[in-house]
Amino acid sequence: METHCYPITILPHLSRLFTDFAQSETALQPFFAVSPSDPDWATHTVSFSGDRNALANLLEAQNQPWGASPATLENIARLRAGANVVVTGQQVVLFGGPLFALYKAATAVARARATGAVPIFWLATEDHDLDEANHIALAAPPDLQTLRLETAAAAAQPVGSILLGPGIESVLDQAAEILGDVPELDLLRETYRPGVTFAEAFARLILKIFARQGLIVVDASARGFHTAGAAVLQAAIERAEELETLLHQRDQLLAARGYHSQVLVAKNSSLLFLMDKQTRARQTLKRDASGQWTAGKTTYSTADLLAILHAEPERLSPNALLRPVFQDAILPTLAYIGGPAEIAYFAQTQVLYQAIPGHTTPILPRLSATIVEASLRNYMARHGVSLQDILHVRPEDLTQRLGARTMPVEGKQQLAATGSALDRELTALVDWMRNMDAGLGRSAETSASKMRYQMNRLRRMAANFQLQQDQSLRRHVEKLYAALYPKHHLQERAVAAISYLGKYGDVLVDAALEAATELCPGHREIHL
């Protein structure tokens, strides 16, 4: 397998906070504990006071029924005996989610291997945004085809607990038309079945994909995990005003440094959700000036919430900012593997780490990559096109450029000579007229600009003629963008991992692991 490493800035639309973090050689203080290029993250002191036996028992109780491999069960035993963990996580998206979810798991495995830790994939089952989880886009050249599962789930119900229902059969049939008769389709049918929840289906799938590597999966929505993390939830209730103040101060510091906050912290907000006992809807908890709390139309006192935490801890769950701290109360975390958005909000979470456990867990970037298949590499080599061109040049402009390159030599020479001569003579003429009169010079500049525009128009006409003569150029450009930057979205965010697993199987997993192990500080181009 061949890969190329690009600076992370090759990717468009990244926050400056993330790019500064990714490129820093020392920790970007006070926002982050380590720099991703600093190997000292592996010596981070893990402060874990939980019961490892109880934790291992909970993990075995979940992973065994989900079809855990011997390697996974061995890693749970290693955790029981004292091994720390490298954690990553993701929403339980249909069919395993986009490529970046696979890259997260691969990075966790690679970092765990390098440090003697065990890899854990945290299922974000308590998220309640079904619209983000009920669809996936498969590569169906020359475009993407989005598959969507319709369910009868209640509003704001945690996605992980939603049953797939009979509609999953038709979605699987659609996937079969695109993927073809491949083993991965059988795996989808085995894991995504009517009557199975989003959480169980996702867990079974990713455990199978990373069976050889011993990936452990955790669904922390269960009571046992919430009991283990109850101290963090209690702090969020009892110290709500203090923690809100710290977050507002951090937001001000981020703004002063020229950054922006990833998660909006509103006045009198909280870091918690409460699940309604009757409807099972996940509702945001808010505070008022008198210290009362509301969720939906119901009002609670602090004592009420503490009583719920004691009797039914699974009804309380952390928001995006508190979740990492909650996670590290449950797991002996050596490092967390995150994407650009997660890393950006860790800059806010850091104040919660310092206020509650008193230390900050290192966060490291996941593998970022674009897969370039052999046929696409041939197009890129033939036309002299790079991944950077695809990400930063409009398709129509790149097509024009390639058309111009295929022009006969004599035509290129004639256009170049004429353009240079025109530019030289116009420059001299405009200077002469400007020296005669400023107003005359401005008029001359306007006229000269129009002449140069017409010269460029002649260049475009010649390039378009070449494109008409060689229609394959346009088709090649369309294929490159459809595969590498579909609909102006990064491939890793737009395309389902199962699309490439269906073609390459374990070869893709091994390629992702190799790329993650090589510690490219930016973006990888992976050749398959």
Q: What does the pLDDT profile of the chain (528 residues) look like in tens digits?
A: 688 899 999 999 999 999 999 999 899 999 999 999 888 888 888 989 999 999 999 999 999 999 999 999 999 999 999 999 999 999 999 999 999 999 999 999 999 999 999 999 999 999 988 999 999 999 998 889 999 999 887 678 999 999 999 999 999 999 999 999 999 999 999 999 999 999 999 999 999 999 999 999 999 999 999 999 999 999 999 999 999 999 999 999 999 999 988 888 988 889 999 999 888 889 999 998 888 999 988 999 999 999 999 999 999 999 999 999 999 999 999 999 999 999 999 999 999 999 999 999 999 999 999 999 999 999 899 889 999 999 999 998 898 887 776 656 666 667 677 888 888 988 999 999 999 999 988 999 999 898 988 877 877 777 667 656 566 788 889 999 999 999 999 999 999 999 999 999 999 999 999 999 988 889 999 999
Cα 170 to chain centroid distance, Å, stands at: 28
Name the domain boundary from 366, 401, 435: 366
> How many Å apart are CA 97 and CA 99, to the nearest integer?
7
**pLDDT the model gives residue 8:** 94
Amino acid identity of residue 332, one-letter, is: P
316 φ, ψ (degrees, to nearest 5): -105, 135
What is the rounded distance in angstroms from the CA atom of residue 399 to the CA atom of residue 403?
6
Task: Identify the pLDDT of residue 416.
Answer: 74
Residue 463 shares a structural domain with residue 386: yes
Domain presence at residue 66 = no
Residues 414 and 318 placed together within one structural domain of the fold: no
Beta-strand ranges (E) seen in 151-308 are 216-219, 272-275, 282-284, 286-287, 293-295, 298-300
- Number of other CB atoms surrounding residue 196 within 10 Å: 17
What is the predicted pLDDT for the residue at 126?
93
**Domain-terminating residue out of 319, 349, 366:** 366
Answer yes or no: is 143 within a domain.
no
Say if residue 242 is in the same domain as residue 343: yes
Separation of alpha carbons 412 and 406, rounded Å: 9
320 with 381, same domain: the answer is no
**Helical spans, DSSP H, in 312-386:** 323-330, 340-355, 374-383
Q: Do 413 and 296 belong to one domain?
A: no
Answer yes or no: is 213 within a domain: no
Task: Give the model's pLDDT for residue 475.
Answer: 84
The answer to whether position 146 is within a domain reads no
Q: What's the confidence (pLDDT) of residue 39? A: 83
Calpha distance 486→283 (Å, rounded) = 35
State residue 152's pLDDT score.
Answer: 80
Quote the pLDDT of residue 44.
Answer: 84
Distance (Å, rounded) from C-alpha 48 to C-alpha 232? 13
Are residues 356 and 233 part of one domain?
yes
Verify that 233 and 286 share a domain, yes or no.
yes
In the block, residue with structure tokens 């000292």: 40
Counted domains in the chain: 2
Query: Are 434 and 354 part of one and the same domain?
Result: no
Q: What is the pLDDT of residue 458?
A: 73
**Based on the domain organization, do 232 and 341 belong to the same domain?**
yes
Work out the end-to-end distance of the chain between its first and last CA atoms, rounded to an integer number of angstroms: 7
Same domain, 233 and 336: yes
Q: Containing domain of residue 341, as a range?
A: 228-366
- Quick one: pLDDT at residue 409? 60
pLDDT confidence of residue 223: 94
Q: Which of 242, 302, 241 is nearest to 274 (CA)?
A: 302
Examine residue 326 and state whether it is found in any structural domain, yes or no.
Answer: yes
Residue 104 belongs to some domain of the structure: no
Give the pLDDT of residue 485. Answer: 97
* 338 and 322 within one domain: yes
Q: Is residue 115 part of a domain?
A: no
Is residue 343 a part of any domain in this protein? yes
Report whether 37 contacts 364 (CB < 8 A).
Answer: no
| pLDDT for the residue 2 | 80
For the chain, give the number of residues.
528
Tokens of 491: 């491939």
